[in-house]
Amino acid sequence: MGEIKTIGVLTSGGDAPGMNPAIRAVVRSAIYYGMNVKGVRHGYNGLINDDIVDLNLRSVSEIIHRGGTMLYTARSKEFMTEEGQQKAYETCVKHGIDALVVIGGDGSFRGCQAISKKGIKTIGIPGTIDNDIACSDYTIGYDTALNTAMEMIDKLRDTTQSHERCSVVEVMGRHAGYLAINTGIATGALCTLIPEKEFDIERDIIGRIQETQKQGKKNFIILVAEGVGKVFDIANYIEMRTGIETRATVLGHVQRGGSPSMRDRVTAAEMAVEAVELLNNGVYNRVIGMHDNKVVNYDIDEALQMKKELDPHLVSIANIISI
């Protein structure tokens, strides 16, 4: 066993399916290596407000199949202040927490970066349905969210086809189009609008609808990432220009919920065990990632400076087959 005696684990930011399996794997692997584990509830707010619970083998039983996070989550404005960070540090000292494992996104990792400067060792695990963590090809929760969106749109397609309508569907992804572009390909959307790519409504939507109408198509799915927005305006414009009955649907937070898929459960286990083993070996202030289906890790400062771009080949595929 290394110098770490007690690990704190928390989930921060938006919840993602697979957070519970990650918590479970952190706890069980830490105990395997002879460490104690404290659960921090409600994200960084829990550190500020001393909302700490003991975790053991049995307290994380029966959570591997559950969505959400048993530790709850939040976004903390107070933690962004020096005073809030000092309170969090003092809570760690009070409970003997030598290191924190934080499951979340970029904002959560910036929290890791801040408290590490006060002397608390940290490891970040990427958990977000947006798959927008630059240092990782894959983030926990992404696969489940994709399958949820696909299932919902498949159901919506049935009524869209029955009424010969056009459906404009908004999926999550405020700054990143990974969820939208992959869901668009999987559901056969005629057009997918993403934040990374400008669009022309006449060329990219109206023109494509009219072209496919000539080929006998009578129902249409238009997919819109949350960051593009204006789904109701887009739906109204389509109906006005084409005469096709058009409805807008916002899938919303349903995409965050549900039992995590096998991929998310296995990835959560891989990343969580890697996090604990790094700490046990005296390596800290890192962010875990996946590259070429292998677990990797980066210095937290380096990880937060990295940029991630949407694969243009996926955009090309969507355009080629959505006709």
Name the strand (E) or helix (H) holding 175: none
Judge whether 301 counts as a catalytic residue. no
At 141, give phi and psi (nearest 5°): 105, -20
Give the gyration radius of the chain's Cα atoms.
22
The neighbour count for residue 227, using CB atoms within 10 Å, is: 18
Give the C-alpha separation, 148 to 152, whole Å: 6
Rounded to a whole number of angstroms, the distance between the first and last alpha carbons of the chain is: 59
What tokens does 148 get? 């949820």
Q: Which of 299, 4, 5, 268 is nearest to 140 (CA)?
A: 268
Q: Which of 257, 247, 260 is nearest to 25 (CA)?
A: 260
Active-site position among 98, 106, 130, 143: 130
Give the C-alpha separation, 148 to 138, whole Å: 17
Give the C-alpha separation, 147 to 124, whole Å: 25
Question: Residue holding tokens 């990343």?
Answer: 271
User: Which positions are catalytic?
Assistant: 130
